[in-house]
Structure 1
């Protein structure tokens, strides 16, 4: 009897895993724009919505300006990869979306991003709206208290790639080889 109960539990678990996997696949490859509608502001204070991620390939990185290593490294590398592919990647738009809008105001974000790249645009806004946008794009983030009353942010460290329709087209993982990253950006740029 116990064997049948265990077998039943395994069947239910397998079905649940299959259903979740199917949902994940449909979201990412179902021909629908990735994420959800949002209204935030760019680094100049101008409104920006999900429409900015349509009509051209897009690279998105979620991070924060007080990040000690991952964020500045990723922005620097992304800028370098875009320069490396030159005219082939001229249509790729790149964005740095803060997951720490409490500290990353428009002015802070503009200074931070413009010191690294002319190609990457910063995005910030109301903390609740930024959080909702990040979650809708599948980004993990969490405020982590530090000694002395400060905090840092734990977050997903991959660059998201979207095609011209705003559909999920892959990621560039933190620490991925420059050759692989450049190949992915070239492939993204070449998609019709």
Structure 2
């Protein structure tokens, strides 16, 4: 069963996202993409995303520039997550497959917020299970926090005396396009078909 976030976590998430609507305001550099959006973002789409340096599941150091040449569906989570992350990541993988059937090439990316437990081997096993083209990213705590901050992602480990601690985190997915950067958030209540339709619309109108 999907766990409820603590009141503190929920409040911080709401503050970081600029309110319940998490609305995306169309920037001038993204003219023509507004028809694909149903929501808007406080501060504009340009306020989300930015440079990062992480390590992929093969051990290679990568930056945001390595993904600038392709459409990317990005999600922040962790492999020990008992419920939300597997469901969201599997949904994203299904949407990517639906898009591939329609002739669109979108790369699914999973960024771990658990630098302590998500080793390269565990991350590689997780992403390969989810989708053969999925890329897993991790790094030091500072690197992960820098990336999360760029995408306005909240995460915090719950207090625990054992190794099976949980991590509260925001659950949006982020869609990026070449030449535009971040263009929209994907909510976790959207089905694979809805995600594929939305992403296809952005690609067609980019």
TM-score by length of 1: 0.78
Supply the distance in 1 between the matched residues of 2:97 and 2:167 (Cα, whole angstroms). Answer: 29
Please state if 1:181 is matched with 2:198.
no
Q: Which residue of 2 aligns with 1:91?
A: 105
Matched-pair contact (CA < 8 Å) for 1:59–1:93: yes
Please give the secondary structure, in 2, of the residue aligned with 1:115. Answer: helix
Q: Which runs of 5+ in 1 are unaligned?
A: 1-16
Could you list the structure 1 runs, at least 4 aligned residues long, displaced by more than 3 angstroms after superposition. 24-27, 87-90, 146-150
**Counterparts in 2 of 1:9-158, with a 5 A limit?**
25-29=42-46, 34-88=48-102, 90-146=104-160, 148=162, 150-158=164-172
Matched-pair contact (CA < 8 Å) for 2:51–2:64: yes
Supply the distance in 2 between the matched residues of 1:122 and 1:39 (Cα, whole angstroms). Answer: 13
Supply the distance in 1 between the matched residues of 2:163 and 2:100 (Cα, whole angstroms). Answer: 44
Deviation at 1:35, TM superposition (A): 2.1
Deviation at 1:166, TM superposition (A): 4.8
Deviation at 1:87, TM superposition (A): 4.7
Matched-pair contact (CA < 8 Å) for 1:89–1:186: no
Number of equivalenced pairs: 169
Deviation at 1:179, TM superposition (A): 3.1
Deviation at 1:97, TM superposition (A): 0.2
Residue by residue over 1:29-63, the C-alpha shift from the partner in whole angstroms, topping out at 9 and shown as x without a partner, is 48xxx422221110000111011231221110000
Aligned-residue RMSD, C-alpha: 2.4
Q: Which runs of 5+ in 2 are unaligned?
A: 1-18, 26-40
TM-score by length of 2: 0.73
